[in-house]
Copies of this chain bind each other. A is one copy, B any other.
Amino acid sequence: MEIPSKLLEEVVEHFASLPGIGRKTALRLALNLLQKDEGSLERFGESLKSLKSRINYCTVCHNISETEMCSICSNSKRDKSTICVVEDLRDVIAIESTQQYFGTYHVLGGCISPIDGIGPDQLTISQLEKRVASGGIKEIILALTSTMEGDTTSFYLYKKLDSDELQITSLARGVPIGNELEFTDEITLGRSLLQRVPYKNNFSNNT
């Protein structure tokens, strides 16, 4: 049976176009919206309509920001010589929550993915090159997910940026803390054996 309303069908299709939401969930969400008061729906719709045109990005790191320069880039206590390259805002939030990183970021806005039509030009890669070329950068930390797209992007950036003055590092890969060995995939476990570290390093945060 089809959804007996074109408008509802439209809302369902919009929800279903979001990642991780199928048609059944989309219908559940749309019907839930019908229970809400009209004012709340009005505000939801209005904020969606203006989302893309009204959102601003930091001119330095390209993270979402209300101000021209975000709170991290304008913080004089942050180490400006280290740039951590991430995909989007969520990664910045995740790394900030560790309270172990005091450098700055560069938000790419995605990963190179030819299948989705995303090439280097759709990302903020040229802006990163400019930041590096302007000098004062000592280390680039590539903190992209290790999927096909993430690894491709990391390798592309490495090829573009590699020079004697610049240290290019990537996140340590290994068995997550608390995970049991038997449930760790063989690639991760294999790499954590190859890249094993002196035991006493575990006692310190700065090794």
Residues in chain A within 8 A of chain B (CB atoms): 1, 3-8, 10-11, 14, 17-21, 24-25, 27-36, 38, 40-56, 63-66, 70-71, 88-90, 92-93, 96-97, 110
State in angstroms the CA–CA spacing of A93 and B23 once bound together. Answer: 12
Residue pair A63, B29 in contact (C-beta under 8 Å): no
Closest to A37 in B: B52
Given B4, B35, B71, B88, which contacts A64 in the complex, CB threshold below 8 Å?
Answer: B4
Residues on B with C-beta less than 8 A from A19 are 28-29, 32
Residues on B with C-beta less than 8 A from A89 are 3-4, 27, 31
Residue pair B34, A51 in contact (C-beta under 8 Å): yes
Residue pair B49, A41 in contact (C-beta under 8 Å): yes
- A1-B97, A45-B48, A45-B49 provided; 14 other pairs, C-beta below 8 A? A3-B89, A4-B71, A7-B54, A10-B47, A11-B44, A11-B47, A17-B36, A20-B25, A27-B90, A33-B52, A35-B110, A41-B51, A45-B47, A45-B51
Q: How many copies does the complex hold?
A: 2
Residue pair B47, A18 in contact (C-beta under 8 Å): no
Given B44, B55, B110, which contacts A48 in the complex, CB threshold below 8 Å?
Answer: B44
Residue pair B71, A55 in contact (C-beta under 8 Å): no
Given B7, B40, B66, which contacts A47 in the complex, CB threshold below 8 Å?
Answer: B7
A-B pairs with beta carbons under 8 Å apart, 29 shown: A1-B93, A4-B63, A4-B66, A4-B70, A4-B71, A5-B64, A7-B54, A10-B47, A11-B48, A14-B40, A17-B40, A18-B29, A18-B33, A24-B90, A31-B88, A35-B110, A36-B52, A38-B52, A41-B52, A42-B49, A44-B45, A45-B45, A45-B46, A45-B47, A45-B48, A45-B49, A45-B50, A45-B51, A49-B49
> Assuming A51-B34, A53-B38, A71-B4, is B29 touching A43 (CB within 8 A)?
no
